[in-house]
Amino acid sequence: MSKFVPTIVRNALARQFDQTESRVKLEAMGADAPAFDMVRASVNLVMASILISMATSQKLPLSTTYVTFMVAMGTSLADKAWGRESAVFRITGVLSVILGWFFTAIIAFTAAFVVASILHYLGIFGVALMVAVAIFVLYKTQILQKKNIESNEKSDLKRANIEEVGVVKSMNDAVVDSLGHIKSEMSNVLAALNNDDRRSLKKANERVLEINKEAKALKKSMHSTISKLRMETEDSGLYYVQVLDYLREMAHSLSYISQPAYEHILNNHKKMTDDQKNDLNELNSRMRLLIDRVIEAINENNFDEVNAILADQQKGADFIKDISKRQVKRIKKGEASTKASLLYFTIVHEYQNVLLQIVNLLKSQRDFITK
């Protein structure tokens, strides 16, 4: 827009939104300062009421919901509330409301026209045709559902059809494989977020979904796998359940990182600052090293390093505390946008969850193997 709007016009508009003097006056008034939200709400109601009254007097079929909604969007535009943080939601809301009404009317009209035409021109044959179409749709739906159920059952039986000797090996392979995928996708999501790469982040989201499906499938096969254990190894069944629970929680945390990150880029929110990126990259590097140590311990069935890994976990927790404090300072200084800060804390929180769950998983895996 700056290429088409003259500088003098842009400066004049900018002065209209300069809040320096108003902020000083509001601070001086203290508790007696007018509530801005109340003022805007009053303006919205008054303007909407005027427009609705005028339309009613002219016998115009105006929707009260539509008028109120558009007035609210207009006042928010006038007070410069349409920043990059919220503009996408406001524009989407306006388009959704307007287009939703039109599409609903068009679809309803078209469907009614097609059905009425079939019944009118074909008579009893039209009725038979509509019944046949309904039966066909129900049949196809049932077939697809049956195929999905059979596919899931085959997957479950494949996981459950193992001898007890293979339980430990199978468990180790499944855990190591899942941890490797989680480590890779955490890095991929963070890299795509830092580069504002929507396509890569979308693909990472799809892979994260597959990781969650696999973790869920392992959990579903729990009953069949435990039944293969000998009676004298009942305690191992408990640790097996715990390992699956911790693995599932880690997969959930990964999805709670990737999905908000994708939505952040999809909605064109402000990028994270270099300081935020550096903090998250350092946190991710520490997490990768910790996951590698856990994978190595599980692969080699060497759990002598548990105490050392616990020490690394504590260092990671301390680092998370430090970067959280740094982010709070950045917010106080106005150096970070609202959406970027929310995403930052979301990612840090989920990394903290993974940090906790992976050590719990290692302990349960140790007990599953050794007890």
Percentage of the chain lying above the pLDDT 90 cut? 35
Per-domain residue ranges for the chain?
Answer: 7-81, 162-370
Rg (the chain; Cα; Å): 29
With a CB cutoff of 8 Å and minimum separation 6, the contacts of 188 are 200, 204, 207
Distance CA 313, CA 297 (A): 15
Confidence of residue 233 (pLDDT cuts 50, 70, 90): low
pLDDT value at 147 more than 80: no
Q: What are phi and psi of 142, to 5 degrees?
A: -65, -40
Instruction: Name the CATH code of domain 162-370 (choices 3.40.50.970, 3.40.50.2000, 1.20.58.220, 3.30.70.20).
Output: 1.20.58.220
Query: Whole-model pTM?
Result: 0.64
Q: How far apart are CA 248 and CA 357, in angstroms?
A: 9
Tokens (6 digits) for 369: 């193997």
Q: Are 164 and 228 in contact (CB under 8 A)?
A: yes
For CA atoms 309, 310, 312, 313, the dihedral sign is positive
Residue 253's nearest CA partner among 173, 365, 178, 156 is 178
Q: What average pLDDT does range 296-311 have in this prediction? A: 88
- Residues in CB range of 126: below 8 A, 6 or more apart: 118, 119, 120
The SS3 call for residue 22 is helix
Residues 301 and 169 sit within 8 Å (Cβ to Cβ): no
Alpha helices (H) along the chain:
7-16, 20-29, 36-57, 64-78, 87-122, 124-160, 164-194, 198-220, 222-226, 234-266, 274-299, 306-332, 338-370
> For residue 294, what are its two tokens?
């856990």
* Residue 266 structure tokens: 């999809």
pLDDT band at 163 (very low <50, low <70, confident <90, very high): very low
**The pLDDT of residue 232:** 46
Instruction: List, for residues 176-189, the tens digit of each pLDDT value.
Output: 888 999 999 999 99
